Amino acid sequence: MSKTKIRFACQECGHDSPKWLGRCPGCGAWNSMVEEVVAKQPAARAAARSLPAARPLPITAVDTAGLPRISTGIAEFDRVLGGGIVPGSLVLLGGDPGIGKSTLLLQVAGGIGAGCGRVLYVSGEESAAQTRLRAERLGKMSDNLLVMTETNLEEILDQAGAIAPAMVVVDSIQTMFSPDLPSAPGSVGQVRESTGRLLRFAKESGIPVVIIGHVTKDGNIAGPRLLEHMVDVVLYFEGERSYAFRVLRAMKNRFGATTESGLFSMEEDGLAQVENPSALLLAERPQGAPGSVVLACLEGARPLLIEIQALVSTTCFGMPRRMAAGFDYNRLILLMAVLEKRVGLALGNQDAYVNAVGGIRTDEPAADLAVCLALVASFRNLAIDPGTAVMGEVGLTGEVRMISRVDLRVREAAALGFKRVVVPSGNLAGLKTRPAGLEIIGASNVMEAMEAVMT
Give the residue among 151, 171, 186, 194 at the shortest CA–CA distance from 105.
Answer: 171
Beta strand 145-149 pairing with 119-123: parallel
- CA trace torsion 250, 252, 257, 258 (10° rounding): 40
Tell whether residue 387 is among the known ligand binding residues: no
Residue type, 378: S
Per the CB < 8 A criterion, the answer to whether 88 and 206 are in contact is: yes
Is 40 annotated as ligand-binding? no
Q: State how far Cα 238 lies from the chain centre.
A: 5
Please indicate if the annotation marks 139 as binding a ligand: no
State the Cα–Cα distance between residues 88 and 210, nearest whole angstrom.
Answer: 10
Has 223 been labeled as part of a binding site?
A: no
Q: Is 101 annotated as a binding residue?
A: yes
Reference 128, options 171, 181, 71; nearest CA is 171
Helix (H) or strand (E) segment spanning residue 160: helix 153-163
Query: What is the arrangement of strands in the sheet containing 6-10, beginning at the earlier edge strand?
Result: 16-17, 6-10, 33-37
Beta bridge partners of 167: 119
For residues 450 and 303, what is the distance between their CA atoms, to the nearest angstrom?
24
- Residue 100 labelled as part of a binding site: yes
Would you say 320 is a known binding-site residue? no
Contact in structure between 9 and 33 (CB atoms under 8 Å) = yes
> What does each C-alpha distance from 175 to 122, 184, 187, 423 come to in angstroms?
11, 9, 9, 50
DSSP secondary structure of 50-110: TSPPPPP--GGG---TT-PPBP-S-HHHHHHHTSSBPTT-EEEEEE-TTSSHHHHHHHHHH
Decide if 355 contacts 309 (C-beta within 8 A): yes
Q: Find the Cα–Cα–Cα–Cα dihedral 447, 450, 451, 455, rounded to 10°.
A: -160
95 is in an annotated binding site: yes
Binding residues for ATP: 95-102
Binding residues: 95-102
